[in-house]
Amino acid sequence: MTLLLLVAVPLVFGALCLVLPTSPLRMAALVAGAWAHLAVVIRSWPAAEAPANYELVGLDPLGHLFLTLISVLFAATAVYFVGYHRKRLISQRVFQACTLALLSALTALCISQHLGLLWVALESASLAATPLIYFRLGPRALEATWKFLLMNSVGVALALLGIFSVAIATTRHDGVIVLTVADLVRHATRLDPSWLRVGFLLGLVGFGTKMGLAPLHSWKPDAYGEAPPPVAALMAGGVTLGAFAGILRLFQVCSAAGLGAFAGSWLIAFGLLSLATSAVFVVGSVDYRRLLAYTSVEHMGVLVVGVGLGGAGSYAGMLHAMHNMLNKGALFFLAGFLWRLHESNRIRDVRGTLRRSPPAGILLLAALCATCGLPPFGMFFSELGIVLAAAQAGRWWVLGLFVLTLAVVFVGVMTAALPMVFGDPPDAAAVRPEQAPLRPWRRVTMLSAAAVLVALGLGLGACQPPAVREALLRAADSVNRPQAASVAAASVTKVQP
């Protein structure tokens, strides 16, 4: 019942958005839909027991955690939309309906236990996201949309082939193995190892395209740079988590089948490549939204490296997934605010935010520090956790590359973005006269949505309520490679203050 509600609530409100006559009513429906979804998600905690082997949908620890993160992000974004909204060429109805359809598809993704169903949900999510990217119309948005649509379609087609390969791996066993995660894990030793490997690699490439892992990230800066910033927030914090869930499901099956080391080293390879790529492109970036997109590539890399290392790394990966959602949400909200102030994506056009709008400046500085992994923000602890996990596993090359690339990204982001925060604001003459001043209530709405996420990132970094910690630990346990489970729990307590 809860599961049905979770998928249906956003769809019903999305349909309402299509039919309601006036703009304020539609906006209310969007906010109500997102918050009703959050309410249902919160009521579903604590989860019942794990889903049975043959159930197509169910709430397992991993899916439940991701579902909650996505729901929080959508609730914040819905509020932000109220402040951000302005008349644009594409129909507002379609835009809001697609936003809620995206939430519904991501929900279906998080609760689906069957790999085929997971694929259908992920593909639906990327289809629902396409009109959102095209929101601004014009040639640049068109180019971003085309690249997103084509690359993601090819990516998910490869992921489907990967899932088919896993299905072929099950035919070695005489009895029937259903393609649900639980059943696959239960029969893991009876799967054909070579087809399982093929399946994992194809799935990693396919879902990795959707997640934006290098070298399949090339759509990401375009899409995040051209989509409206709140949409970029949804994609960087929400859709990427969905794709990550797909990779993790396959990883769970692989580690149960004794291929954990094989799958883990591919995850680490893709992760380090993503980190290195983002380090190369962050330095000397001239467009702040593309800069943020590259930090998203970086954080995706951190996520998969963490899970690939296993042990304490799995917990750090889950922690990082949570803080990535909070941080990317806040950063893209602030980018939207800056865009409304300056009508420009270029870093050199945005100067002296601290003097022009002190709250925005402080929030931007805090969010930038958080994204670079400075203490006391949560990402510091998750990245430290991954460093410790690498040291524990004795993988010094991974550790060295990881720290080096994080340092380069830190320098790149700070040199590009500090003048945006400090510096002198452009003189009044330079401000283009045609732009309408932003109404105060819009400013307050936009900034408070960002402030809540920044505060959550700070608060959850400093101290974790037991419930959050429990949820993270259970999710980490479910993706952990079996042999290192006890070590993980022991070392995690040291990382956390």
Partner 1 sequence: MSAQTATDGVLVLVILLNLGMLAVSRLATGVRLFALQSLLLALLPLAEGASETGTPGVHAILIAGGTLGLKVVLIPSVLLRIIRTGEIHREVEPFLGFAASVFAGALLVIGSFALAARLPLPTPPLSKLIVPVALSTLLLGLLTLVSRLKAITQVLGFLVLENGVFIMGLLLLKQTPLLVELGILLDLFVGVFLMAIVVYHIRREFDHMDTHLLDALKES
> Closest separation between CB of residue 146 and partner 1, Å?
5
Interface with partner 1, residue 144, by CB under 8 A: yes
- Backbone φ and ψ for 114, nearest 5 degrees, come out as -90, 130
Assess whether the previous peptide bond of 359 is cis (omega < 30° from 0): no
56, 82, 269, 438: residue in contact with partner 1 (rule CB under 8 A):
56
Q: Rule CB under 8 A: is residue 123 a binding residue for partner 1?
A: yes
Coil, helix or strand at residue 61: helix
Token couple for 171: 């035919």
CB nearer to partner 1: pick between 150 and 490:
150
* Of the residues 2, 23, 91, 171, which one makes contact with partner 1 according to CB under 8 A: 171
Residue 140 touching partner 1 (CB under 8 A)? yes
Among 286, 407, 418, 463, which residue sits at the site for partner 1 (rule: CB under 8 A)?
A: 286
Kindly state whether residue 392 participates in binding partner 1, applying the rule CB under 8 A: no
Tell whether residue 283 is a contact of partner 1 (CB under 8 A): no
Q: 204, 266 in Cβ contact below 8 A? A: yes
Among 81, 281, 402, 410, binds partner 1 (CB under 8 A): 281
| Sign for the pseudo-dihedral over CA of 203, 207, 209, 213 | negative
Nearer to partner 1, 205 or 330 (CB): 205
Q: Are 264 and 205 spatial neighbours (Cβ–Cβ below 8 Å)?
A: no
Whichever of 164 and 244 has its CB closer to partner 1, that residue is: 164
Say whether residue 185 binds partner 1 (CB under 8 A). Answer: no
Calculate the CA 85 to chain-centre distance. 23
By the rule CB under 8 A, 258 interacts with partner 1: no
Look at residues 124, 130, 107, 126 and name the one whose alpha carbon lies nearest to residue 57.
107
The smaller minimum CB distance to partner 1, of residues 31 and 347, is found at 347
- Minimum Å distance from CB 282 to partner 1? 11
Written as six digits, the tokens of 134 are 């095209």
Residues 235 and 323: their CA atoms lie apart, in Å, by 15
48: burial class by Cβ within 10 Å (0-12, 13-18, 19+)?
exposed
Q: Does 114 bind partner 1 (CB under 8 A)?
A: yes
Is position 403 an interface residue for partner 1 (rule: CB under 8 A)? no
Does residue 149 interact with partner 1 by CB under 8 A?
A: yes
Nearest to 307 by CA among 403, 390, 370, 184: 390
Query: Can residue 221 be called a binding residue for partner 1 (CB under 8 A)?
Result: yes
Question: In angstroms, rounded to a whole number, what is the distance separating the alpha carbons of residues 200 and 76?
Answer: 34
d(CA 385, CA 200): 26
| Under rule CB under 8 A, residue 265 binds partner 1 | no
Give 404's contacts (C-beta < 8 A, 6+ positions apart): none
Choice from 136, 172, 186, 356 touching partner 1 (CB under 8 A): 172
- Min dist. Cβ of residue 478 to partner 1 (A): 23
Considering only 68, 170, 277, 405, the residue that binds partner 1 (CB under 8 A) is: 170
Q: What are phi and psi of 48, to 5 degrees?
A: -70, -170
Tokens representing 225 are: 């740079």
- Which residue in the block uniquely carries the two structure tokens 């945006």? 420
- Is 153 a residue that touches partner 1 (CB under 8 A)? yes
| Backbone angles phi and psi of 180, in degrees to 5 | -90, 155
Could you give the string, one character per residue 326-365, with x where binding to partner 1 holds by CB under 8 A and - elsewhere?
Answer: ----------------------------------------
Q: Does 60 bind partner 1 (CB under 8 A)?
A: no
> Which stretches of the chain bind partner 1, using CB under 8 A?
56, 114, 116-117, 119-120, 123-124, 127, 130-131, 134, 138-140, 142-147, 149-150, 153-154, 157, 160-161, 164-165, 167-172, 176, 179, 192, 194-195, 198, 221-222, 225-226, 281, 285-286, 290
